[in-house]
Amino acid sequence: MRAVALDVHRDFCEVAIVADGRVRSAGRIQTRPEALELFAASLDPRDWVTLEVTGNAWAIAGILEPHVARVIVVSPTDTGIRQARAKADRLDARTLAKLCGRVSSTVSGPRMSACA
Q: Domain limits of the chain?
A: 3-115
Residue 102's alpha-carbon distances to 9, 19, 22, 77, in angstroms, are 24, 12, 12, 18
CB 4: neighbour CB atoms within 10 A?
A: 27
CATH architecture classification, 3-115: 2-Layer Sandwich (3.30)
Tens place of pLDDT for every residue, the chain, 116 residues? 888 989 888 999 989 888 888 888 899 999 999 999 999 999 999 999 988 888 899 999 999 999 999 998 887 666 555 554 545 565 666 666 666 655 544 444 444 444 44
